[in-house]
Structure 1
């Protein structure tokens, strides 16, 4: 169904784009070159997915085809938006002009109809649109070349009135959405894992989507991911991709076997997978609780998690750090839960791997139309939510403007 929507959107965009290009070309032959290139890029994407349907495997040719398609689509979308707004202005100008002509009808009841209803398109606007369209085109290509491994460490200091004294200054490193089946450069990933360890945090928390679809994606990556070390351990939860829900399994037993293998690999790497449960970390007489729930998301995403079960053994006043993959869970259940979860760590959105961020001033991504909270720190009712931008990538084999993230959060007593 998603492919039908994409094809439909592509056809609508292409029809409008070609009409604009045809007008701008003014009879020149290059409009047919443009149309041929656009169609070939689209057909190449369809062909590559037909030849390589297994998305659990890295296929460079297929990834490049997707990147090129997205780059052209993003460029055309920007160009069309600019030209669409100009068309709206032209229609308004045409209506005003037509109205004035009717009001100035001469005594014989005749009006001047020699000029066209719509004013002609402005060449300057079209050239500006083409120039601006080049920006997302170049950004997406750069994101596939360099951006996907442009790891950023984002540091936050969060204050709490009721943080236990012994945990003042406690450091948490969070990573999310590894999507190991998409990686094509072990050296870059190994560098990022070492970068996580260099933060020397007290605990490392991974908030889901270790794989794209199946456990075998982890083969050959266990040693690199198993390097993650922290004094209080490495904890993880499941994301929507980890369950194998997007695979056409021969049987349910095969699907369960895949999930069990994913559990075992994480255990072998020294990670503790949290399945609707809590873990107590002690410092002297003080305690901090790590709570991990299975995936629980809004819309079409699965709801496996049981927050009540995970927090059943905890008091309302105990200090809690919750790991929940999908940030929509915070809105659906977490922030109004009577147990009070002081800090929730999520991922899932990836920031759509494309957007614009000027730290402290501006932050935008197309995913903001879907998720109210999609990247960074949010606070409500004296509770914090951090949405990690993701460690890996999926679909588009790159990142443009929304870089892969390692979050370091220091807890402070207010």
Structure 2
């Protein structure tokens, strides 16, 4: 009972403060009335969804819309509440001073709210509102091609200059714009890379989510070294209440078959060698291994027959795997490609100056390139989106990595 009462009281406080900010600035009763009606409607809709939605059914377009509506409504009001609460603290102490000085005009203990403070509060609140609105309308499909050149002393000479396009976290069940997705596929094809690697989460939960998009993703050109993929945590159907284990297994098998349908070779704790001239590199693919999520990845099994001297590119969906196991493994995995974090789909990135997101307090490696003693992990920011139906500051990513041979030794 208490657990439910506290959020209710917080929401009530937020709504009261927000109403006060609007009332201080707006004098038209019609405008204030419309504000109240819209606020009540949104609260009623969100409450209805929360009480009727079964979380075991996984993410769908309605849940994505509702989460977006909740964030774009609540966060600006939280800002208003913080500013006006700060003003109330000041008003309280001001009231004490005035009371004891005997200069209490009109007999009111608290001085009237200052219109200027409410104006400032609304101006500040407009920033998260505009940012979230941008993220939900434009940001979620604002695909960025990020290029990275990596140097390895043990790269086979025949693979000097080899290029890799890396994508991750498609989350096809969240898409709602065929033209934007086709634009992203065209961007991938424009890179004309030597191989394409995908590091998991092709759907949110169900294989059927990808069915409308199979032909679109099948349009990705076949590079000369092929297209390879692994599974992510969402591909196992763990976030849904299945009627039976058989139904869950059938969905899992259908998800695995999606990779074949879009012409990707799915690696399930296994490896394959790519040859060029007298040289070869190895693509190693593990199933999902996450510190906070499902652990079915088996690095030892995936690397059977390999040695430290083999040049290996490891596909592992969750970067916590690299942090916990891969970077210290005796087999020396030169390059690991991951995704999973989405960069939280919210943060600030100013190249060369600032890179911040709340997700960095959960994952040490959360976006971009990290290394340890010549072993690299690149964490892709994700192709799609999940939960919050947008992106603010952390844009959907298509990574292009060029492999170069350095003259130094490890």
The reply to whether TM is greater than 0.5 is: yes
Structure 1 equivalent of residue 129 of structure 2: 137
Where in structure 2 are there 5+ consecutive unaligned residues?
A: none
Structure 1 equivalent of residue 69 of structure 2: 68
Distance 1:15 1:34 in 2: 16
Q: How does 1:202-213 map to 2 (within 5 A)?
A: 202-213=194-205
Distance 2:354 2:8 in 1: 29
8 Å CA contact 2:312–2:333 kept in 1: the answer is: yes
Distance 2:18 2:179 in 1: 45
Give the RMSD, CA atoms, in angstroms: 3.2
Matched, 1:406 2:398: yes
Distance 2:317 2:9 in 1: 35
Distance 1:311 1:86 in 2: 61
**Displacement, 1:298?**
1.4
8 Å CA contact 2:272–2:283 kept in 1: the answer is: yes
Change (3 A) 1:358 1:120: farther
**Displacement, 1:48?**
4.6
**Displacement, 1:373?**
2.0
Q: How does 1:15-414 map to 2 (within 5 A)?
A: 15-16=13-14, 18-19=16-17, 21-22=19-20, 25=23, 37-48=38-49, 50=52, 55=58, 57-59=60-62, 63-82=64-83, 90=90, 124-228=116-220, 229-299=222-292, 301-414=293-406
Give the TM-score taking structure 2 as reference length.
0.84
Distance 1:34 1:332 in 2: 50
Compare 399-408 and 355-364 and name the one that shifted more: 355-364
8 Å CA contact 1:295–1:304 kept in 2: the answer is: yes
Deviations 1:300-341 (A, max 9, x none): x11111111112321012211111111111111111111121
Task: Provide the secondary structure at the position in 2 that maps to 1:302.
Answer: coil
Distance 2:173 2:34 in 1: 36
Distance 1:211 1:386 in 2: 22
Task: Provide the secondary structure at the position in 1 that maps to 2:215.
Answer: helix
**Displacement, 1:240?**
0.7
**Displacement, 1:268?**
2.7
Distance 1:157 1:23 in 2: 51
Task: Provide the secondary structure at the position in 1 that maps to 2:403.
Answer: strand
Deviations 1:231-265 (A, max 9, x none): 11111111111001111111112211111112222
**Displacement, 1:63?**
4.4
Distance 2:298 2:372 in 1: 22
8 Å CA contact 2:320–2:363 kept in 1: the answer is: yes
**Displacement, 1:114?**
7.3
Change (3 A) 1:359 1:310: same
Structure 2 equivalent of residue 101 of structure 1: none
8 Å CA contact 2:273–2:280 kept in 1: the answer is: yes
Task: Provide the secondary structure at the position in 2 that maps to 1:335.
Answer: helix
Change (3 A) 1:208 1:42: farther
Task: Provide the secondary structure at the position in 1 that maps to 2:246.
Answer: helix
Compare 169-178 and 120-129 and name the one that shifted more: 120-129
Change (3 A) 1:13 1:320: farther
Task: Provide the secondary structure at the position in 2 that maps to 1:264.
Answer: helix
**Displacement, 1:66?**
3.2
How many residues are aligned here? 393
Change (3 A) 1:178 1:20: closer
8 Å CA contact 1:321–1:341 kept in 2: the answer is: yes
Where in structure 1 are there 5+ consecutive unaligned residues?
A: 99-110
Change (3 A) 1:232 1:23: closer
Change (3 A) 1:23 1:404: closer
Distance 2:117 2:361 in 1: 27
